[in-house]
């Protein structure tokens, strides 16, 4: 190993040490929780599989309530029904040929190629490496172009002043929001609130890439579909039974 | 040839001050409604999660589209070398700038977070057509301002043709960008069409010229300057061609959409059973904004009548607003096709309701007022208007 | 030229000194930590000057990379620096008049935008 230290290396090391020193001097009393300090990577891709044959309407109502509880939306007082946020919706669809009626939960589909991210002028709409699509509300200017672009009507605009938000879910007037796949829980190795609320195996959450995960194994054997598969967005939320 | 005399208007009459005060009040009303909406939130407007873009966007897009169209008169002179239009070129640049300023004001003041406008100027997502539009709009101001300078400054006159060419290209790209805001929305059956871009370009020709004609006729009438028939008739013929061209593009757009089974739902909605949107489309956009103006422009009885040209311009502008209303609001009101082959019974799939609110209208009108006040002020302080556009003079420019 | 330099430098230097007020309303937990003699911020002046940068850096790491450590977390700031109303046992919002964040920001005349979205009082189960 070359032990001579050239000028550039020296400056690099000096910068690093002073950087650490400054940061360390800032906070000394820190409680360390069991959280990852490593950025998420594209080795994982989080997804949901919703089986509409098993999913009852009560399940869907439960999912919606769990989402409201967890994320704190739905208590808006001034907004009209069509102005209120709807991070997750209950839809009933009837097949035109067979007349079969299915109920399903519709939320942000966490596309691999999200149109909302493409159109956002300020990079506020963004996709994490692990496939979760979020709104960076620090950058959102409230232009609503992402809502125009979303094929799933998944996003909501906050039409009124809010307070008493959840600590993990900042939300504010004039910005756009949507399902976060409970990213604050996923980062702690937990499961999204809506998935937890369903007792059966009608909704499965997991890493689509992990061959040992339940979602991957199930998707291998059953027939599943993506909504608006024709758009080729490769959604993270999959459905079976419709 | 260069003996056109440009001169400021006097701007001391009662009429002038009344106009300024009236427009000022409209702008204050707009700012008041902006404060109201921003303070309480967008729940006080008619916009919602389905109709995310409402009346402000109709006004903003009209003004932006018309802005680039208004520059055409200058381009016809400097790019296509038609000397008849030389006396109009300064005013053309001015109208273009002020309409764009009005449109951008409306667009920007409807944002959810106006206070973060700086973010829009510093964080760019280059994949976003919207971000490109921000650059195109800002660039338009710069390019047209330089263009005006070339025209005003005698030493710089020799560059005005080259800069005019740049401005002309810029405005074509700008309107293409504006049309693409809709054309690139793959998810929505009403918008996903490349023809949106050229259609917006041709719309800009028509709306821009109509606005220009009104401003030109009004300013010459109010300042008692002579405006001869040669120029007016030229503009009239041009306007007729543009209106017809818009109707042609609208026809192609709808016929093309009807051909795609995926889009028959939205087409039936707009053309046949969409209630208010169908009425607006046929009565407002097609008849009032298209057929009637064409009739007025070309019919032998009304052809020579200057007030009829004014009326046609007004109708074209109204028709233009209606057209954008049908495109923007009608296009959102009809639900997206989520499940081809299936019928959505519940939860989504109804026609979205939109009830326009007063603050939205005030904001939009404020944008128009801003554009008008800029024109009114600048023609007073800078020599934008030729002292005379009489026929013999116009004729001599034409020949010279 | 020199005059400009002087103006520039004095502006630059003055911006380095952040506002220090010994009698500032520190907030419930922060006051008790201070009273107990423990040190939370070893170098408060760095925090005073740099906390916007620290918070911005932290927000991007959390939101975009999923790094949810406690270091420089806004939740941490709020939970320590919030005051309780002794009568009804409710926390005051940190951005309300007379409270830690707003007080200081008001004195130095700097606006802040955290709390148009972020929760202004400690988490529910701390109440």
DSSP B291-346: IHHHHHHHSHHHHT-HHHHHHHHHHHHHHHHHHHHIIIIIHHHSPP--STTEEEEE
ipTM exceeds 0.85: yes
- pLDDT band with cut points at 50, 70 and 90 for residue A30: very low
What confidence tens digit (pLDDT) does each residue in B33-71 have?
A: 999 999 999 999 999 999 999 999 999 999 999 999 999
In this complex, do A29 and C40 lie within 8 Å of one another by their Cβ atoms?
A: yes
CA distance B7 to B20: 20
In this complex, do A26 and C63 lie within 8 Å of one another by their Cβ atoms?
A: no
Q: Of A143, A145, A159, which is closest to B42 when you measure between CB atoms?
A: A159
pTM score: 0.90
> Residue A4 domain-assigned?
no
Contact assessment for residue B144 and residue B78, using Cβ atoms and an 8 Å cutoff: no
How many domains, chain B? 1
Strand pairing category for A46-51 and A237-240: parallel
| E runs forming strands in B86-152 | none
Q: Which of A77-91, A151-165, B56-70, C43-57 has the lowest mean pLDDT?
A: C43-57
- pLDDT band with cut points at 50, 70 and 90 for residue C92: very high
Shortest Cα distance, chain A CAs vs residue B193, angstroms: 14
What confidence tens digit (pLDDT) does each residue in B5-26 have?
A: 888 898 889 999 999 999 999 9
Q: State the DSSP string of B271-303.
A: III-THHHHIIIIIIIIIIIIHHHHHHHSHHHH
CA-to-CA separations, A165 to A63, B159, C13, in angstroms, rounded: 20, 59, 39
- pLDDT band with cut points at 50, 70 and 90 for residue A232: very high
Shortest Cα distance, chain B CAs vs residue A166, angstroms: 20
> Residue A147 domain-assigned?
yes
What confidence tens digit (pLDDT) does each residue in B122-152 have?
A: 999 999 999 999 999 999 999 999 999 999 9
Q: Of B48, B111, B332, which is closest to A142 when you measure between CB atoms?
A: B111
State the pLDDT at residue B304. 83
In this complex, do B130 and A82 lie within 8 Å of one another by their Cβ atoms?
A: no
How many domains, chain A? 1
State the pLDDT at residue B11. 85
Shortest Cα distance, chain A CAs vs residue C20, angstroms: 16
CA distance B175 to A104: 41
Q: Of A143, A144, A159, which is closest to B43 when you measure between CB atoms?
A: A159
Q: Is the pLDDT of residue A28 over 50?
A: no
Q: What angle do CA B63, B64, B69 make, to 5 degrees?
A: 90
Q: Of A31, A39, A137, which is closest to C67 when you measure between CB atoms?
A: A39
> Residue A29 domain-assigned?
no
Q: Of C33, C42, C68, which is closest to A187 when you measure between CB atoms?
A: C68
Number of residues that this document lists for chain C: 127
State the pLDDT at residue B322. 98
Which residues have C-beta within 8 Å of that of residue C39, sequence separation ≥ 6? A28, A29
Q: Which residues of A touch B123 (CB under 8 A)?
A: 121-124, 139
Instruction: Please give the residue of chain A at the shortest CA–CA distance from C64.
Output: A128
| DSSP bridge partners of A134 | A126
Task: Report the CATH number that the domain containing residue B243 is assigned in CATH.
Answer: 1.20.1630.10
Strand pairing category for A203-207 and A46-51: antiparallel
Which residues have C-beta within 8 Å of that of residue B306, sequence separation ≥ 6? B217, B232
> Residue B44 domain-assigned?
yes
> Residue A80 domain-assigned?
yes
Task: Report the CATH number that the domain containing residue A206 is assigned in CATH.
Answer: 3.30.70.20
State the pLDDT at residue A19. 44
Q: Is the pLDDT of residue C94 over 70?
A: yes
Number of residues that this document lists for chain A: 242
- pLDDT band with cut points at 50, 70 and 90 for residue C17: low
CA distance B285 to B275: 15
Q: Of A25, A38, A170, which is closest to C43 when you measure between CB atoms?
A: A25
> Residue A90 domain-assigned?
yes
> Residue A53 domain-assigned?
yes
Q: Of C66, C70, C120, which is closest to A39 when you measure between CB atoms?
A: C66
Shortest Cα distance, chain A CAs vs residue C115, angstroms: 8
State which residues form the domain around B275.
6-338+348-399
Q: Is the pLDDT of residue A29 over 50?
A: no
Which residues have C-beta within 8 Å of that of residue B370, sequence separation ≥ 6? B23, B27, B30, B98, B101, B102, B105
- pLDDT band with cut points at 50, 70 and 90 for residue B267: very high
Contact assessment for residue B339 and residue B77, using Cβ atoms and an 8 Å cutoff: no
CA distance A96 to B342: 5
In this complex, do B117 and A141 lie within 8 Å of one another by their Cβ atoms?
A: yes
Strand pairing category for B342-346 and A88-95: antiparallel
Q: Which residues of A touch B181 (CB under 8 A)?
A: 145
Q: Which among C68, C77, C120 is the top mutation candidate for probing chain A, defined by the most A β-carbons within 10 Å of its own β-carbon?
A: C68
Shortest Cα distance, chain A CAs vs residue C93, angstroms: 9
Q: Is the pLDDT of residue A41 over 50?
A: yes
Strand pairing category for A176-177 and A156-157: antiparallel
Q: Is the pLDDT of residue A159 over 90?
A: yes
> Residue A9 domain-assigned?
no
Q: Which strands form A46-51's sheet, in the order they lie side by side?
A: A203-207, A46-51, A237-240
Residue ranges in A89-132 assigned as alpha helix (H)? 115-119
In this complex, do A78 and B346 lie within 8 Å of one another by their Cβ atoms?
A: no
CA distance B400 to B395: 8
Q: Which residues of A touch C77 (CB under 8 A)?
A: none
CA distance C50 to A72: 31
CA distance A49 to A208: 10
In the A/C pair of chains, how many CB contacts fall below 8 A?
Answer: 88
Task: Using a CB–CB cutoff of 8 Å, tell me whether A126 touches chain B.
Answer: no
Q: CA end-to-end span of chain B, whole Å?
A: 5
State the pLDDT at residue A111. 97
> Residue A39 domain-assigned?
no
**Mean per-residue pLDDT for B153-164?**
90
CA distance B90 to B87: 7
Residue B119: Cβ within 10 Å count: 17
In this complex, do A166 and C119 lie within 8 Å of one another by their Cβ atoms?
A: yes
> Residue B343 domain-assigned?
no
Instruction: Please give the residue of chain B at the shortest CA–CA distance from A160.
Output: B41
Q: Which residues of B touch A226 (CB under 8 A)?
A: none
Task: Using a CB–CB cutoff of 8 Å, tell me whether A229 touches chain B.
Answer: no
State which residues form the domain around A90.
46-240
Q: Which of C32, C52, C83 is nearest to C40 (CA)?
A: C32
Question: Three-class SS of residue B47?
Answer: coil
Question: Three-class SS of residue B225?
Answer: coil
Contact assessment for residue A232 and residue A113, using Cβ atoms and an 8 Å cutoff: yes
Q: Which residues of C touch A128 (CB under 8 A)?
A: 64-66
CA distance B160 to B173: 20
Q: Is the pLDDT of residue B188 over 50?
A: yes
């Amino acid at each position: 190993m070359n032990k001579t230290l050239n000028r550039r290396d020296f400056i690099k090391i000096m910068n690093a040490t002073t950087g650490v020193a400054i940061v360390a001097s800032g906070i000394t009393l820190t409680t360390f929780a069991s959280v990852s300090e490593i950025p998420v990577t594209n080795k994982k891709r989080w997804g949901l599989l919703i089986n509409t044959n098993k999913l009852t309407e009560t399940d869907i109502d439960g999912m919606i309530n769990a989402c409201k509880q967890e994320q704190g939306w739905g208590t808006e007082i001034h907004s009209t029904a069509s102005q209120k946020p709807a991070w997750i919706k209950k839809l009933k669809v009837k097949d035109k040929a067979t007349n079969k009626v299915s109920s399903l939960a519709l939320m942000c589909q966490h596309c691999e190629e999200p149109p909302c991210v493409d159109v956002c002028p300020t990079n506020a709409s963004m996709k994490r490496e692990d496939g979760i699509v979020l709104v960076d509300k620090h950058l959102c200017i409230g232009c609503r172009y992402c809502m125009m672009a979303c094929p799933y009507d998944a996003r909501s605009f906050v039409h009124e002043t809010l307070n008493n938000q959840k600590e993990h879910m900042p939300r504010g007037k004039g910005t756009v929001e949507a399902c976060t796949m409970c990213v604050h829980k996923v980062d702690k190795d937990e499961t999204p609130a809506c998935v937890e609320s369903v007792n059966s195996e009608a909704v499965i959450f997991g890493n689509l890439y992990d061959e040992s995960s339940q979602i991957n194994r199930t998707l291998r054997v059953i027939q599943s579909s993506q909504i608006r598969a024709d758009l080729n967005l490769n959604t993270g939320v999959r459905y079976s039974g419709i | 040839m260069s003996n056109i005399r440009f001169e400021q208007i006097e701007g001391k009459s009662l009429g002038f001050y009344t106009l300024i005060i009236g427009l000022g009040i409209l702008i204050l009303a707009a700012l008041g409604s902006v404060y109201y909406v921003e303070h309480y939130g967008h729940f006080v407007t008619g916009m919602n999660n389905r109709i995310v873009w409402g009346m402000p966007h109709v006004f903003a897009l009209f003004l932006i589209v018309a802005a680039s169209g208004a520059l055409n008169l200058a381009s016809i002179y400097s790019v296509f070398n038609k000397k008849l239009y030389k006396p109009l070129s300064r005013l053309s640049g001015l109208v273009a700038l002020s309409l764009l300023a009005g449109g951008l004001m409306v667009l920007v003041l409807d944002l959810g977070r106006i206070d973060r406008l700086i973010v829009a100027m510093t964080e760019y997502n280059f994949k976003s057509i919207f971000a490109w539009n921000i650059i195109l709009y800002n660039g338009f101001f710069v390019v047209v301002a330089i263009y005006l300078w070339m025209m005003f400054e005698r030493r710089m006159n020799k560059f005005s043709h080259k800069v005019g060419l740049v401005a002309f290209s810029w405005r074509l790209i700008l309107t293409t960008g504006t049309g693409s805001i809709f054309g690139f929305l793959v998810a929505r059956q009403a918008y996903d069409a490349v023809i949106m871009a050229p259609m917006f370009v041709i719309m800009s020709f028509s709306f821009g010229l109509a606005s220009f004609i009104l401003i030109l006729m009004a300013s010459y009438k109010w300042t008692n300057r002579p405006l001869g028939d040669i120029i007016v008739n030229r503009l009239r013929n041009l306007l007729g061609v543009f209106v017809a061209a818009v109707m042609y593009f609208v026809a192609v757009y709808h016929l093309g959409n009807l051909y795609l089974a995926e889009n028959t739902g939205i087409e039936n909605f707009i053309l046949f059973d969409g209630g208010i949107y169908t009425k607006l489309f046929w009565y407002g956009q097609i008849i009032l904004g298209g057929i009637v103006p064409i009739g007025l422009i070309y019919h032998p009885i009304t052809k020579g009548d200057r007030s009829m040209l004014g009326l046609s311009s007004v109708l074209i502008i109204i028709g233009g607003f209606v057209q954008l209303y049908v495109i923007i609001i009608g296009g959102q009101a009809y639900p997206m096709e989520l499940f081809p082959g299936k019928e959505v019974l519940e939860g989504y799939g109804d026609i979205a309701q939109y009830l326009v609110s007063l603050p939205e209208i005030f904001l939009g009108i404020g944008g128009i007022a801003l554009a008008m006040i800029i024109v009114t002020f600048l023609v007073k302080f800078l020599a934008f208007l030729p002292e005379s556009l009489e026929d013999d003079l116009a004729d001599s420019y034409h020949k010279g | 030229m020199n005059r400009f330099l002087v103006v520039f430098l004095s502006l630059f230097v003055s911006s380095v000194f952040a506002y220090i007020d010994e009698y500032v309303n520190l907030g419930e937990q922060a006051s008790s930590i201070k009273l107990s003699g423990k040190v939370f911020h070893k170098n408060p002046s760095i925090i005073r000057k740099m906390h916007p940068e620290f918070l911005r850096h932290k927000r991007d790491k959390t939101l975009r990379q999923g790094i949810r450590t406690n270091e420089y977390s806004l939740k941490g700031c709020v939970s320590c620096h919030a005051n309780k109303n002794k009568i009804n046992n409710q926390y005051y919002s940190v951005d309300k008049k007379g409270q830690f964040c707003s007080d200081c920001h008001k004195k130095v005349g700097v606006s802040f935008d955290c709390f148009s979205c972020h929760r202004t009082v400690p988490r529910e189960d701390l109440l």
